[in-house]
Amino acid sequence: GEPSGPVVRTKVPGPQSIAMQKELSQLQNSKAVQFFADYEKSVGNYIADVDGNVMLDTYMQISSIPLGYNHPDLMKVTQGREYQALSINRPALGNMPPRDFVERLHNALSVVAPKGLKHVQTMACGSCSNENAYKVIFIWYNSKIRKGKAFTEEELQQCLVNKGPACPDLSMMSFKGGFHGRTFGCLATTHTKAVHKRDVPSMDWPVASFPQYKYPLEQNVDHNAKEDVRCLQEVQSLFDAYQKKGRPVAGVVVEPIQAEGGDNHGSPRFFQELQRIVKKNGAALLIDEVQTGMGATGTIWAHEQLGLDSPPDIVTFSKKMMTGGYFYTDEMHLDEPYRIFNTWLGDPTKIMLLEETVKVIKRDNLLEVVKDSADALEEGLLDIQNSFPKLISNSRGRGTFRAFDLPTTESRDKFINEIRNAGVQMGGSGTHSVRLRPALIFQRHHAEQFLDIATSVLKKF
Amino acid sequence: GEPSGPVVRTKVPGPQSIAMQKELSQLQNSKAVQFFADYEKSVGNYIADVDGNVMLDTYMQISSIPLGYNHPDLMKVTQGREYQALSINRPALGNMPPRDFVERLHNALSVVAPKGLKHVQTMACGSCSNENAYKVIFIWYNSKIRKGKAFTEEELQQCLVNKGPACPDLSMMSFKGGFHGRTFGCLATTHTKAVHKRDVPSMDWPVASFPQYKYPLEQNVDHNAKEDVRCLQEVQSLFDAYQKKGRPVAGVVVEPIQAEGGDNHGSPRFFQELQRIVKKNGAALLIDEVQTGMGATGTIWAHEQLGLDSPPDIVTFSKKMMTGGYFYTDEMHLDEPYRIFNTWLGDPTKIMLLEETVKVIKRDNLLEVVKDSADALEEGLLDIQNSFPKLISNSRGRGTFRAFDLPTTESRDKFINEIRNAGVQMGGSGTHSVRLRPALIFQRHHAEQFLDIATSVLKKF
Ligand code: FES
């Protein structure tokens, strides 16, 4: 069973972790290592490290573990012959899918498909999900432009060397503070930290401002509404400017909550208007739910809470879904084979784990658990904010997908470090925010444990 | 145990596969599906489909299965508690690696590291391996250019929106017929088929010619030597031209055998001179061994056979290695954290499978098995070529990594289709080649079985 609370044996990283990190640094850059974990000993919401420490984990492998550590139902899946066969005989899913592939896609993915997006393509991670979703959008957009007119043989030869009208100057619009991955297409739409981007060539794609709200929302209605208008006007201006410079915008990619760039939220109204502008300009709207998807916001998909007029065109996922991929509408369906393809197209063992996860979420009413813990977190963090007004501000979030700010990067980093040494694993977001990304089994009493420890850390801060 | 030969029950795809494909087409584009496989029933070199057919598999999931289907030693790995824990608690390897991570990197990866490349970074697939290797090269190159001079705060802000000197105009050179993946960075260096590229924007990066040899090599020494010279001159001209147009070439990416674009080989001399030219121009040489790596060419790495003056700067891998990633030299080491990073950075269960695979290759002398089967294939395919001179030509390859040509795309596709219906699974390469990509357990008697069936198919062609 789960431990009743953290066990603090050493500072983190402890001596074992430090020794291992030193060894690892002989093989690769190991400077981002926080500690070495013992995944066999970790249970539920608690992660064990190699120095005997046990931490309440509110970060869960960068938001990617849906049911906590060593969930017994998932463990059982790995003990079945089929899981084991698919582990060692990894199929090329596009060419030779396994016999129950369709059934598993239904049970794991169709059952959680966002409304209106009945098609699904699996991928292996968030980056290839976004990269391929961008390609779908470009192909769809350019096919519309040429109205089905085929390319000449010469044009096809040119596109093989990145040239000519078959290799069009199109662009994907994204937002300041957005994060969509670190491969070249994704990176051109990622704008969170210079360390991700400097020294790496990129593409001339438009980048719009994302609303920067003041909190609490109720007291800043005017300012925040103006922010929406300012950003939406910028979106339209960029559509115009890039049309004019011959790099039309084929699609707009946006997170429902900017989940790396500081947990920045947009209002439902912002997203509704954004979708209208995108439609008006003949482009596609891609909602990147790689981090927000799979329940932590209180609904399976965060964008369900945005009140959009109609479904977005594509929704990408990964992390807590364990398999990457994207859902898409009829209109985004590409008819030719091999437009979207790679060797593995994901991993059927991850689809099997997702299938079981979806069952557990339903059986154990985990969305209700999320809502209950979210209430405790929201209330408790407001209390903390009131108790430590110079240290903690801007508590915000949907479900347990929450964040709050410290005054500076330094104080934020110090807080994460001190609370880790007090037995709670957390993550940073943007320049000076702390994010909570607990598993869906994070309950009210875990929330209370976190709040208690946070309070005692802040008292000594 | 392994069956003694193929079992042909129906044409492939059979009625069950066709019905499943139709169902799948409700969810996604399923036109690239060849058949639905039964991975629990597949054994060794033989793949079973859902219609009761059993095929000798010389293609092995697009060259990605090292030890054949359901290898007992790999099966045992999946039955261990640690494998199962790492399956369901997938770590963020850059932040919280598992306790035995360093040891496993040693046992799985360092033991097969190409000479001179002692560093290794894991990734999840061939595409993210190449995307990140390109980033390493760009960062390394640009850091050299600015001689460690830091960017100003303003320049860093600009690069966040893809602009300014911190987001430099650099390029990666690649070759016509090269394939390095389908994400945006990879795709800009992929030049095999228009279906991969058309309607998708790309980057202005230089593309050089790759030698097009005539076979048999012994009878075409002059022509082939001229091909080398022509292509190498083009490489140098492109260095000059892109320097001049302000997009200097930071690196050159090349496959030791163009493994999707038609199984095109370059001579050792071509690669040796290429490396000298790359060095002379201050750029880095990336050898993409995603498809050629892990033994099928007769050595663990194909580039071992090229007699290079010194190690290449980076070698990428995936497929038969099961984990993606890249090996790199001291010089390519980046000192800052988070330059190369993503949530998962691969998957430790794949590293565990690779660790066992490496042991089995050694224990069972599989490189010797490859050499023996390769002799049988080479000899047998020359015989076939002599018996069917109008149909089969240009037999070529290293180890069991082999190909031959048919006169046209149509006849090639027809051959693959007919030999599949006769019980042998094969793959196409380029416009009119057939490729063999068997597992490392493909023995002489499998080669003979394939040759017999190929002969009977060609007799009726
Ligand atoms: S890019 Fe997604 S797994 Fe490699």
DSSP, collapsed to helix, strand or coil, labels residue A202 as: coil
- What is chain A's pLDDT, residue by residue, as a tens digit (461 residues)? 999 999 999 999 999 999 999 999 999 999 999 999 999 999 999 999 999 999 999 999 999 999 999 999 999 999 999 999 999 999 999 999 999 999 999 999 999 999 999 999 999 999 999 999 999 999 999 999 988 789 999 999 999 999 999 999 999 999 999 999 999 999 999 999 999 999 999 999 999 999 999 998 999 999 999 999 999 999 999 999 999 999 999 999 999 999 999 999 999 999 999 999 999 999 999 999 999 999 999 999 999 999 999 999 999 999 999 999 999 999 999 999 999 999 999 999 999 999 999 999 999 999 999 999 999 999 999 999 999 999 999 999 999 999 999 999 999 999 999 999 999 999 999 999 999 999 999 999 999 999 999 999 999 99
- Residue A458 located in a structural domain: no
**Interchain proximity A160–B102, CB inside 8 Å:** no
Residue B343 designated active-site? yes
Check if B101 is active-site.
no
Residue B19: partners with Cβ closer than 8 Å, 6 or more residues away: none
pTM of the model: 0.98
pLDDT of residue B165: 94
Task: Say how many Å lie between the CA of residue B314 and the centre of ligand 1.
Answer: 19
Of the CA atoms within 13 Å of residue A386, those in its CB half-sphere come to: 7
Inter-helix orientation angle A444-459/A409-421, to 10°: 120
* Structural domain boundaries enclosing B340: 83-361
- Chain B positions touching A192 (Cβ under 8 A) are 160
Residue B147: predicted pLDDT? 86
Select from B352, B255, B263, B360 the least CA-distant residue to B302: B255
- Determine the distance separating the centroid of ligand 1 and the alpha carbon of A410, expressed in angstroms: 33
- Within this chain, do residues A16 and A153 fall inside the same structural domain, yes or no? no
One domain for residues A30 and A98:
no
- Nearest CB among B32, B155, B185 relative to A184 is that of B185
Q: What CATH number is associated with residue B276?
A: 3.40.640.10
Dist CA A240 CA B421 (whole Å): 55
What is the C-alpha separation between B20 and B17, in angstroms, rounded?
5
Q: Are B419 and B55 in contact (CB under 8 A)?
A: no
Cβ(B178)–Cβ(B127) under 8 Å? no
Pairing label, strands A427-429, A433-436: antiparallel
* Number of Cβ within a 10 Å radius of residue B83: 19
* B31 lies in some domain: no
For B27, the token pair is 């969810």
As a whole number of Å, the end-to-end CA separation of chain B is: 33
Mean pLDDT of B277-295: 98
Do the domain assignments include residue A391? yes
Known catalytic membership, residue B319 = yes
Residue B12 near residue B55, CB atoms below 8 Å:
yes
Closest ligand 1 atom to residue A324 Cα is: 2
Q: What is the pLDDT of residues B55-74, one digit of tens each?
A: 999 999 999 999 999 999 99
- The residue of chain B with its CA nearest to that of A118 is B27
CB B253 within 8 Å of CB B174: yes
- Going from the Cα of B125 to the center of ligand 1, the distance in angstroms, rounded, reads 5
Asked if B282 and B315 count as a contact pair (C-beta separation under 8 A), the reply is no
The answer to whether B318 and B68 have CB atoms below 8 angstroms apart is no
What's the gap in Å between B3 CA and the centre of ligand 1?
Answer: 35
Give yes or no: residues A372 and A293 share one domain.
no
Tell me which H or E stretch contains B16.
helix B15-24
CA A321 to chain centre: 10
Return residues 165-224 of A near B (CB < 8 Å). 166-171, 176, 181-186, 188, 191-205, 207
Which of these is catalytic: B51, B228, B263, B288? Answer: B288
pLDDT at A249: 98
Half-sphere exposure of A427 (CA within 13 A, CB side): 27
φ, ψ dihedrals at A16, nearest 5°: -65, -45
Give the Cα separation of B224 and B228 in Å (integer): 6
* A355 and A413 in a common domain: no
Helix (H, G, I), strand (E, B) or coil at A115: coil
Ligand 1 binding site (Cβ under 6 Å of any ligand atom):
A 124-125, 127-128, 183; B 124-125, 127-128, 183
Q: Please say which residue of A340, A361, A382 terminates a domain.
A: A361
Mutate which of B125, B187, B347 for ligand 1 pocket (most atoms within 8 A of beta carbon): B125
| B161 contacts A34? CB cut-off 8 A | no
Alpha-carbon gap, residue B171 to B167, rounded angstroms: 12
The DSSP bridge pattern shows strands B314-317 and A314-317 to be unpaired
Domain harbouring A425, CATH code: 3.90.1150.10
Q: Are A91 and A296 in contact (CB under 8 A)?
A: no
Count of the separate structural domains present in chain A: 3
Please list every residue in chain B whose beta carbon sits closer than 8 Å to the beta carbon of residue A153: none
Q: Report the alpha-carbon distance of residue A22 to residue A25 in Å, rounded.
A: 5
| Residue A135 CA from chain centroid, whole number | 19
**Residue whose C-alpha is closest to residue B81's, from B366, B352, B319:** B352
Give CA–CA dist B250/A361, Å, rounded.
49
Are residues A399 and A347 located together in one domain of the fold?
A: no
What's residue B148's pLDDT?
A: 76
Instruction: Please check whether residues B324 and B223 belong to one and the same domain.
Output: yes
Interface test with A, best of B96, B106, B420 (most A CBs within 10 A): B96
For B43, nearest residue in chain A (alpha carbons):
A89
* Same domain flag for A332 and A403: no
Q: How does residue B47 score in pLDDT terms, banded at 50, 70 and 90?
A: very high
* Residue B109, in any domain of the structure: yes
Reported as type and span, the H/E element at residue B457 is helix B444-459
Share above pLDDT 70 across residues of chain B, in percent, rounded to a whole number: 100
Q: Within this chain, do residues B245 and B283 fall inside the same structural domain, yes or no?
A: yes
Chain A: nearest CA to B52, how far in angstroms? Answer: 12
Among A102, A143, A159, A319, most B C-beta atoms within 10 A, so best to mutate, is A102
* A353 and A377 part of one domain: no
Q: Clarify whether residues A400 and A318 are in a common domain.
A: no
Contact flag A101-B36 (C-beta cutoff 8 Å): yes
Of residues A293, A323, A317, the one with CA closest to residue A305: A293
The answer to whether the Cβ–Cβ distance between B132 and A38 falls below 8 Å is no
Q: Which of A93, A121, A125 to mutate to test the pocket of ligand 1 (most atoms within 8 A of CB)?
A: A125
Q: Helices A81-88 & A348-363, crossing angle to 10 degrees?
A: 140
A157 to chain B: which residues are within 8 Å by CB? 194
**Domain for residue A228, yes or no?**
yes
What is the DSSP secondary-structure string of A401-456? EEEEE-SSHHHHHHHHHHHHHTTEE-EEETTTEEEE---TT--HHHHHHHHHHHHH
Q: Phi and psi dihedrals of A321, rounded to 5? A: -80, -10
- Facing residue for B167 by CB, picked from A47, A102, A197: A197
State the count of interchain CB pairs (< 8 A) between A and B: 390
**Cβ-based neighbours of B390, under 8 Å, separated by 6 or more:** B407
CA of A89 to the centre of ligand 1 (A): 19
Query: Of A317, A339, A361, which marks where a domain is finished?
Result: A361
Q: Which residues does A409 contact at the CB level (< 8 Å), separation at least 6? A: A431, A432
Phi then psi for residue A6, to 5 deg, are: -65, 155
Name the residue of chain A whose CA is nearest to B325's CA.
A28
Percent of chain B's residues with pLDDT above 90? 98
Determine contact, residues A366/A440, Cβ cutoff 8 Å.
yes
Measured between beta carbons, which residues in chain A are less than 8 angstroms from residue B37?
Answer: 91, 96-99
pLDDT tens column, B408-448? 999 999 999 999 999 999 999 999 999 999 999 999 999 99
Are B205 and A162 within 8 A, CB to CB?
A: yes
B183 and B200 assigned to the same domain:
yes
Identify whether B69 is part of a domain. Answer: no
Closest listed residue to residue A428, CA positions, set A414, A443, A440: A414
Q: Is residue A343, in this structure, part of any structural domain at all?
A: yes
Cite the DSSP H helix spans in A92-162: 101-108, 126-145, 153-160
CB contact under 8 A, B83 and A88: no
The interface residues of chain B toward chain A in range 5-44, judged by CB-CB distance below 8 A, are 20, 23-24, 26-29, 31-40, 42
Distance A345 CA to ligand 1 centre (A): 9
CB contact under 8 A, B143 and A199: yes
Closest Cα in chain B, distance from residue A219 (Å): 31
Whether residues A101 and A171 fall in one domain: yes
Q: Looking at residues B249-253, what average pLDDT do you find?
A: 98
* A2 located within any domain: no
The confidence score (pLDDT) of residue A147 equals 86
CA dihedral A158, B426, A342, B15 (to 10 degrees): 120
Hey, what amino acid is at B306? L
Rounded-to-integer distance, Cα B292 and Cα B313, Å: 17
Q: What is the pLDDT of residue B55?
A: 98
- Catalytic site residues of A? 179, 288, 319, 343
Cβ distance A128 to B181 under 8 Å? no
End position of a domain, from candidates A330, A346, A361:
A361
